[in-house]
Every structure is written in C-alpha cells, then in structure tokens.
Amino acid sequence: MRTMVSPMQQHRTKNKLKLTRRCFGLGLLGLATSVHGAVASTPERVVTVYKTATCSCCKAWVDHIAKSGFKAKVIELDDLTEVKRRLGVPAAHESCHTALVDGYFIEGHVPPSDILRLVEGRPNARGLAVPGMPVGSPGMDIKGAKAERFQTLLIAKDGSASVFAEH
C-alpha cells in the first residue's frame, strides 16, 4: 500500500533537503576556514644565527635558511667560542657559525630540511652539526667545484654524535 504525499508535504521535504545541503556546505566551509586559520596562525620558526661579520659563507647559509621559510635573526660577534660552549657544541664538531632554533643548536652548514626534521621530531638531543665547511653544503655553493658528500650529525645530550642525515 502506497502512502499519498500531498504537494505541501513534498514542498516541505524538498526545502528540508535544500536546507540540509546548505548547512552541510556551510559547515564544510567553516571547517576549511578554521583549518586554514590554524595553519595561517602557526608561528614562524626563528633561527638565531651567531656569526662573525667577515664570513661570507655564513651569510649565504642565512640566505638558504630564509628561502626555506625560517626567519633568521643574525647576531654578529668577534668570537663565537662562548656561544658554542654555552650551547654545548662539542669542539670536534665545530664549524664557522652557530645557530639556535626551538632550543636546539645548529652548528655549521646544516641543510634547512634537516633543521625542519629536527624541530618537528623533537628528539632528546642538543642539536645538529655539519663539522667543517663541506663544499656543496648550504652556503658553501662554490661555482665550478664538485660537491662533497657530507653528514649531518645529531648531537646527543651526553655529547655523543650519530648520523642524522647523509647528503
């Protein structure tokens, strides 16, 4: 047995469907706006870079960092020894500049992708280091020179080092 639906009931049902679809669509729009707002309000990662005034490769590394979305705050000093000791950079893994981001030190020409992986992963460590100044590392782009293979080291709280990435 079929139930007869009056034209007025049909009209109400169609309007309810339209209203339901409209609310659903507006709900999705609100959700998308909320997600976008949360992403847009993510704080910038500030990298504080300690370097000497005369080092051009340090400036080139800062440029790499800035192009990768980090905000660089540069502090020029005559001697970086005190900064390196205060942050716990092992002497065996030193390079020409030292940086600080989210409580971790970044020593030398560490690629921005490694820094991002560090701050997102939040390992129990002091920081990252690329000892020396390997040709081809960020900031050590030398025209005509063949890039060297290098490693980014993760420096543990006890000062020991392990390979974090290979380039």
Give the pLDDT confidence of 48-57 residue by residue, as tens digits: 999 999 988 8
Q: What separation, in Å, do the N-terminal and C-terminal C-alpha atoms of the chain show?
A: 75
Does 67 lie in the same domain as 130?
A: yes
Give the confidence band of 43 by pLDDT, cuts at 50, 70, 90: low
Q: Output the average pLDDT for the chain.
A: 83
Quick check: is 36 in a domain? yes
Number of domains in the chain: 2
* 2 is a domain residue: no
Closest residue by Cα to residue 113 from 52, 167, 32: 167
DSSP states along 117-166: HHHHH--SEEEEEE-S--TTSTT---TTPPPPP-EEEEEETTS-EEEEEE
More confident residue, 124 or 41: 124
CATH label of the domain that carries residue 132: 3.40.30.10
**56-67 and 112-121 are packed helices; what angle lies between their axes, rounded to 10 degrees?**
60
Mean pLDDT, to the nearest integer, of 117-135? 96
Regarding beta strands 98-101 and 125-130, do their DSSP bridges make them parallel or antiparallel, or are they unpaired? unpaired
What residues have CB less than 8 Å from 104, skipping those under 6 apart?
118, 119, 125, 126, 127, 128
Q: Are residues 11 and 76 in the same domain?
A: no
Whether residues 88 and 155 share a domain: the answer is yes
140 and 71 part of one domain: yes
Q: Give the model's pLDDT for residue 3.
A: 53
Shared domain for 109 and 148, answered yes or no, is yes
Question: What token pair was written down for 54?
Answer: 């005369």
What pLDDT is recorded for position 105?
98
Mean pLDDT of 110-118: 97
Give residue 44's pLDDT: 79
Are 78 and 143 part of one and the same domain? yes
Does residue 80 sit in the same domain as residue 146?
A: yes
Asked if 110 and 130 touch (Cβ cutoff 8 Å), the reply is yes
Residues 161 and 104 in one domain: yes
Has residue 134 been placed in a domain?
yes
Owning domain of residue 123? 46-166
